[in-house]
């Protein structure tokens, strides 16, 4: 499970960076639902870091809520999985 979480979090971080880059260049963007889904399936840890590093989606409360709830759920899953 740890390998999965590492990979999905790297993907999440890259997606936040790519979406910020595309936003600055005014190009076709990654959908918000895609960013939500990646957070929900485990990319929430680096999702929050990506938000802070790239200064992206930080004003959208929904992204904070989804990522924080996902972190709580994934911590519970990790602890219960032991």
Sequence-distant (6+) residues with CB within 8 A of 37 are none
Place of tokens 């709830």: 69
How many residues are there in the chain?
82
Q: Quick one: DSSP state of residue 30? A: -
Convert the pLDDT of each residue in 67-79 to its tens digit. Answer: 999 999 999 999 9
Measure the N-to-C terminal CA separation of the chain; round to a whole number of Å.
11
Convert the pLDDT of each residue in 19-56 to its tens digit. Answer: 999 999 999 999 999 999 999 999 999 999 999 999 98
């Amino acid at each position: 499970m740890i390998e999965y979480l590492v990979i999905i979090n790297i993907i999440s971080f890259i997606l936040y960076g790519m979406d910020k880059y595309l936003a600055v260049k005014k190009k076709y963007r990654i959908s918000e639902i895609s960013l939500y889904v990646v957070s929900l399936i485990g990319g929430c840890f680096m999702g929050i870091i990506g938000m802070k590093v790239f200064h992206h989606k930080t004003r959208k409360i929904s992204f904070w809520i989804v990522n924080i709830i996902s972190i709580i759920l994934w911590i519970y899953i990790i602890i219960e999985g032991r």
